[in-house]
Amino acid sequence: MTGKPTPDATLPEITLPRLGGGEITLGKPLEGRDWQMVVVYRGKHCPICHKYVEGLEGLLSKYHDSGIDVVLVSGDPEHKAKAFAEETGTSAPVAYDLSVPQMLELGLYVSEPRSPQETDRPFAEPAVFVINERGTVHIADISNAPFSRPDLEGLLNGLNFIRENDYPIRGTKMAA
């Protein structure tokens, strides 16, 4: 099944290999935290993704202090995911090898490379999913372009507000 994950529904259960060993299941927090933020990045080839993840690194401890686990995921193979992690200096767990069917299951937009110099495979456009302590999608932000992503500091402030005020999940109704 393809389509956007519905707010207040469970994120499709997708388990991927994790850089450094083991696996990551999207929507299942690691590190003993009760919420998880899944950041889908386009791949090593994307300079905007580099800047976004570098900016996230500076806020990572604040996300953790708020009880929010953060994982990164892309369709890159292991060697590209490893190079991306090294280049950005991220300490967030990185999952890799997200397949095109899995991208579609998550409701992501998928692009073909513009040239072999860009990359060698289809890739997901950026997205951010925030999964709450009940294991359901609290926020889904899915983009079809590298230039449109949520502001990470504003998102953190909003998540703190949600958690402190038991703010409900919004946008639970969609057009058929």
pLDDT digits (tens, 9 = 90+) for 22-38: 999 999 998 789 999 99
Whose CA is closest to 112, among 50, 41, 42, 48?
42
Give pLDDT < 50 ranges for the chain: 1
CA-to-CA separations, 171 to 7, 78, 89, 141, 167, in angstroms, rounded: 7, 35, 35, 11, 13
Indicate the fold that domain 15-164 takes in CATH: Glutaredoxin (3.40.30)
Residue 65 backbone phi and psi in degrees, to 5: -60, -25
How is the chain split into domains, by residue range?
Answer: 15-164
Q: What is the pLDDT of residue 31?
A: 73
Number of Cβ within a 10 Å radius of residue 117: 8
Q: What is the pLDDT of residue 175?
A: 63
